[in-house]
Chain A
């Protein structure tokens, strides 16, 4: 490691690594797995290891990360095949026991296909693959994924997807809204939901949701790509910071 790289690492990373252990699942076609691993290990300084899609055990991780990418080439539907990967049985059991799972981008699509989250993600209304920074408003800062933020805070985090338009039926939307399960919406820089600020035509500008129990979260934007100022924003750190703080409070 060069001196420059060492310099950006937080003090905690050079000390004995502590905190909850994260596991980043790698499917064939995952491509944000290394970004997530780097953000957790080198920026946040917590233990993290890769989990292989064909394995059946989570090897004692506390928090599962399903990263972005194009698992199984997005064949059939995004996330449709990954959902049946051997590791997913363990992920479903992990979620059922109340432990945290976070799905980012393709990971969100996998969680919807696996019925760990309601609804589905379909092709962007605007027909384009969108790859840019967007603004997200924190809708609920009481979740274990968002407790490092304040309600109404506007975050700058990038998206990169062709199929990120969240859809669900009316009853599901009502349940998500009433239960505080909508964690993030796309907004303008002032925190206002406008159609221009919605990059994919998502229902209600929804960018991220949690399950009813509050331990499974999916979001289309990439917090792992926004953990250091040098990358344009460090606003995404709070998602992992929230999880780390919530896990420490439980310990």
Chain B
């Protein structure tokens, strides 16, 4: 079983309203040196590779899944890594 890590982030051009609230909360806790905060999603997937499939094939499959479901390319970027 391959373990895959996927990180999905809001595109930099978009206002991250959640991130802004967290930044303001950190400021009110006294962490005045915190600049921008942006919140994304972290997913861990276990993927059973097809017989004879290499890491690259798993990577390609996960990218396809990101494009179709895990991320919305209109508003998000993603990166994925096959860790084992």
Contacts and interface: CB of A to CB of B under 8 A. Distances in A.
A125 B75 CA distance: 15
A123 interface: yes
25 contacts: A76-B69, A76-B70, A80-B69, A80-B72, A112-B74, A113-B72, A118-B74, A119-B74, A120-B72, A122-B10, A122-B14, A122-B17, A122-B75, A123-B17, A123-B18, A125-B15, A125-B17, A126-B17, A127-B17, A127-B18, A127-B20, A167-B14, A168-B74, A201-B15, A201-B17
A81 B69 CA distance: 8
Interface of A: 76-77, 80-81, 84, 112-113, 118-120, 122-127, 167-169, 201
Contacts, number: 35
Contacts of A80: 69, 72
A77 B72 contact: yes
Most buried by A among B17, B20, B69, B70: B17
A112 B14 CA distance: 17
4 closest cross-chain pairs (CB), A and B: A120-B74, A120-B75, A123-B17, A127-B17
Given A127-B17, A167-B14, A201-B15, A84 B69 contact: yes
Interface of B: 10, 14-15, 17-18, 20-21, 69-70, 72, 74-75
B69 A124 contact: no
Nearest to A168: B74
Contacts of A126: 17
A209 to B, nearest CB: 14
B75 A127 contact: no
Nearest to A77: B72
Contacts of A76: 69-70
B83 to A, nearest CB: 22
A174 to B, nearest CB: 16
A112 B76 CA distance: 14
Nearest to B10: A122
A156 B74 CA distance: 30
Nearest to B75: A120
Nearest to B11: A167
A127 B21 contact: yes
Nearest to B21: A127
Nearest to B16: A123
A95 B72 CA distance: 21
Given A81-B69, A84-B69, A122-B17, 8 more contacts: A118-B74, A119-B74, A122-B10, A125-B17, A127-B17, A127-B20, A127-B21, A201-B17
A112 to B, nearest CB: 8
A118 B70 CA distance: 18
Contacts of A112: 74
A243 to B, nearest CB: 27
A167 B75 contact: yes
A76 B15 CA distance: 19
A19 B20 CA distance: 49
Contacts of B15: 125, 201
A119 B75 CA distance: 8
A167 B75 CA distance: 8
Contacts of B14: 122, 167
